[in-house]
């Protein structure tokens, strides 16, 4: 009777432990997806940038990187030679799910007395949408890159106090353009600085007719970016860069997040293991007499050992089922109020159950051994 209460308690204990594990890992997975989406949503996985050859320009060895694009000099940086021939080659390669040649440059935007620095990006609307899924990010107006039209982020629209249909001025020439729509990528860097226009109009605005500054590529599996980039042939005066190189901090954050969830899971599992082991040890002691009798009537040690291993495995498995259920419920509950999805995948359920079963067996190992090695004479006399 007491044995049953104990088993029930530990079953709940294992269940809560497994639930915590499932829950934490689901949250971490959800957070990771969410962070990646936020960061990568508007970014290319692989970017090819025109680079001035060493010692060529008066600007020395400075790279025309994305981050430094705001420096005025880069607007007059090297031409991306032969990009028209390069694009169809990427188009033909099924590895790339989006190929978007873009002209990127820094500019001032102004509405009335309010000024703001901006990153001006010109691209084909279709290709830009393939790369950034921007159509889904529109919060006002429509996704259109007609001549004399631009799209801006919601932060910039607040800064400029400009709405759809309003006109703003861009660049040194103070050219007038109209806001066709407002997007929200959920990333301040993008929403506060990007001004999107058609390739042709941006070429005009930046005075770089027929030129682009980079080609953005997207692939199916973002984490394969480095591998895919490594397979690209070298192109003279073109720098190939992946999102992982540009987002070192995010990756460090993700991996430390992963490490901490692993750590939490490990401690939870340790507690679960000790719980199971202690219940079994108590059970072995309580059942000394029975074990002794079983041995006396000829039960081999191996069978006694198996009985306790089995018990451990059942506690682990039962707890796992309970835990996966609880964990899934908790994750669903949180997902309904959180701003992102918390996925409890079959793989997560399966590995949680598998791990719990394994933990059950491992933690039963010592008690089972103790039971099997028990001296039957003392076991029988010592127990009442």
Partner 1 sequence: MKEAIVELREVRKSFGEERPVEILHGIDLRIGRGEFVALIGPSGSGKSTLLNQIGLLDRPTSGEISLEGKNITGLDDTEVTRLRGQTLGFIFQFHHLIPALKVAENVMLPAAVLKGGLDAALRPRALELLDAVGLKDTADQYPRELSGGMRQRVAIARALMNAPPLILADEPTGNLDTQSSDRVFELLRRQHTEKETSFLIVTHDDSLAARCDRVIRIVDGSIDADGSPSEVLGD
Which residues make up the interface to partner 1 (CB under 8 A)? 289-290, 292-301, 303, 375-377, 380-381, 383-384
Nearer to partner 1, 2 or 249 (CB): 2
Nearer to partner 1, 126 or 373 (CB): 373
Q: Report, in Å, the least distance between residue 383 CB and partner 1.
A: 7
Q: Report, in Å, the least distance between residue 283 CB and partner 1.
A: 12
Residues belonging to the chain: 384
CB 247 within 8 A of CB 47: no
Q: Report, in Å, the least distance between residue 287 CB and partner 1.
A: 9
- Residue 112 burial class via C-beta count within 10 angstroms: exposed 0-12, middle 13-18, buried 19 and up: exposed
Helix (H, G, I), strand (E, B) or coil at 234: coil
Nearer to partner 1, 20 or 291 (CB): 291
Q: Report, in Å, the least distance between residue 310 CB and partner 1.
A: 13
Nearer to partner 1, 9 or 377 (CB): 377
CA distance 379 to 11: 27
Q: Report, in Å, the least distance between residue 343 CB and partner 1.
A: 41
Nearer to partner 1, 257 or 299 (CB): 299
The tokens for 18 are 């497994």
CA distance 333 to 243: 33
Nearer to partner 1, 250 or 380 (CB): 380
Nearer to partner 1, 248 or 298 (CB): 298
The tokens for 194 are 């990007």
Q: Report, in Å, the least distance between residue 306 CB and partner 1.
A: 12
CA distance 191 to 197: 15
Q: Report, in Å, the least distance between residue 301 CB and partner 1.
A: 7
Residue 244's closest CA among 235, 253, 236?
253
The tokens for 108 are 């001032």
CA distance 324 to 351: 10
Nearer to partner 1, 266 or 377 (CB): 377
Q: Report, in Å, the least distance between residue 361 CB and partner 1.
A: 21
Nearer to partner 1, 335 or 380 (CB): 380
Torsion sign across C-alpha atoms 330, 336, 337, 339: positive
- H helices of the chain, in order, are 2-40, 83-92, 125-132, 154-160, 188-191, 199-205, 225-231, 243-246, 248-286, 288-296, 301-337, 346-372, 376-382
CA distance 213 to 81: 10
Q: Report, in Å, the least distance between residue 296 CB and partner 1.
A: 5
List, in sequence order, every residue forming a beta bridge with 47; answer none if it has no partner.
216, 241
CA distance 205 to 199: 10
């Amino acid at each position: 009777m007491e044995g049953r209460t104990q088993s029930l308690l530990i079953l709940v204990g294992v269940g809560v432990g497994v639930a915590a594990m499932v829950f934490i890992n689901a949250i971490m997975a959800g957070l990771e997806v969410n962070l990646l989406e936020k960061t990568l949503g508007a970014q290319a996985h692989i970017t090819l940038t025109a680079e001035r050859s060493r010692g060529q320009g008066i600007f020395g060895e400075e790279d025309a990187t994305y981050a430094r694009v705001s420096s005025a000099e880069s607007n007059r940086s090297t031409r991306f030679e032969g990009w028209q021939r390069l694009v169809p080659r990427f188009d033909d390669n099924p590895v790339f799910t989006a190929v978007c040649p873009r002209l990127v440059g820094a500019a001032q935007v102004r509405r009335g007395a309010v000024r703001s620095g901006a990153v001006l990006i010109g691209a084909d609307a279709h290709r830009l949408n393939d790369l950034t899924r921007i159509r889904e990010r529109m919060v006002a107006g429509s996704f259109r890159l007609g001549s004399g039209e631009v799209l801006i982020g919601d932060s910039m629209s607040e800064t400029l106090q400009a709405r759809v249909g309003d006109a703003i001025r861009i660049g040194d020439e103070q050219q007038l353009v109209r806001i066709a729509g407002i997007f929200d990528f959920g990333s301040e860097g993008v929403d506060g600085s990007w001004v999107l226009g058609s390739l042709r109009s941006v070429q005009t605005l930046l005075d770089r007719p027929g030129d682009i500054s980079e080609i953005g590529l997207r692939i199916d599996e973002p984490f394969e970016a480095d591998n895919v980039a490594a397979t690209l042939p070298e192109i003279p005066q073109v720098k190939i860069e992946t999102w992982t190189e540009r987002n070192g901090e995010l990756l460090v954050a993700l991996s430390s997040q992963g490490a901490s969830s692993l750590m939490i899971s490990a401690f939870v599992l340790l507690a679960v293991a000790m719980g199971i082991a202690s219940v079994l040890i108590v059970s072995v002691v309580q059942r000394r007499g029975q074990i002794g009798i079983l041995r006396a009537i000829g039960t081999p040690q191996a069978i006694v050992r198996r009985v306790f291993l089995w018990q451990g495995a059942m506690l682990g498995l039962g707890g796992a089922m309970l835990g996966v259920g609880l964990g899934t419920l908790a994750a669903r509950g949180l997902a309904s109020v959180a701003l992102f999805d918390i996925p409890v995948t079959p793989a997560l359920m399966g590995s949680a159950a598998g791990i719990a079963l394994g933990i059950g067996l491992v933690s039963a190992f010592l008690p089972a051994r103790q039971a099997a090695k028990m001296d039957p004479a003392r076991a029988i006399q010592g127990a009442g």
